[in-house]
Structure 1
Amino acid sequence: MLMKEATARLTLSELAHLGAGEVGYIRKMRYDEINRCFPEAPEIDPSLDLWALFGADGTPLLLTDNRSSTFFKAAEDELRTVSLH
């Protein structure tokens, strides 16, 4: 007896919203990325290590020089976090 493989299909819109409101990702930011992701950020010392929290869809939620703050914000927003390197 042959089993037919089931294939899940998502539209681009469904894929873009996968994890929305449930998952956030944390990653270290380079100085040259700040203005693109956080255009309203004040002038920042380029020598600082910066961390950002983003929604699953890439929406910037928080920029900080304290990595722990990203986890606190995610918990506050009830997001499960993943780290990107």
Structure 2
Amino acid sequence: MTRNPNDAAVDARAAELAAMSEEVLADLGIGIMAYVRKLHPKDMESLFPEVPPLQDNVTLWALLNADGTPILLADSREAAVANAFEHDLEMVSLH
């Protein structure tokens, strides 16, 4: 089997990341990367404590920093994504 020349670089980067502390890993991407998450009313209090209680059938979208801190609460996914692009944040997908 032939080894891809990029494999060594990938292995080196993986070793570098594995050696990082949790604090350093948590700080990667802050202010650079963000993600959008669908929120239900029960999730609001932990991320947005200033939001008054909402009806159970309301769905809102949160734009969150790479470390999970809230940036914005929006009524549509499109509005949250647009805000990320306005602030030059790289969007990442979570699964």
Flag the structure with more relative contact order, 1 or 2, with Cα contacts below 8 A and sequence separation at least 6: 1
Task: Show structure 2 runs of 5+ residues with no match.
Answer: 1-7
Larger strand proportion of the pair = 1
Larger radius of gyration: 2
CA RMSD of superposed structures (Å): 1.8
Which residue matches 1:11?
Answer: 21
Q: Would the aligned equivalents of 1:48 and 1:65 in 2 still touch at CA under 8 Å?
A: no
Q: Would the aligned equivalents of 1:27 and 1:83 in 2 still touch at CA under 8 Å?
A: no
Q: Is it true that 1:52 corresponds to 2:65 in the alignment? A: no
How big is the shift at 1:83?
A: 3.7
Stretches (4+) displaced over 3 A: none
Structure-1-length-normalised TM-score: 0.82
**Number of residue pairs the alignment of both structures matches:** 82
SS of corresponding position for 1:42: coil
Query: 2:28 and 2:77 mapped to 1: Cα distance?
Result: 25
How big is the shift at 1:78?
A: 0.9
Residue correspondence of structure 1 range 1-85 to structure 2 within 5 A:
6=12, 7-8=15-16, 9-84=19-94
SS of corresponding position for 1:34: helix
Task: Show structure 1 runs of 5+ residues with no match.
Answer: none
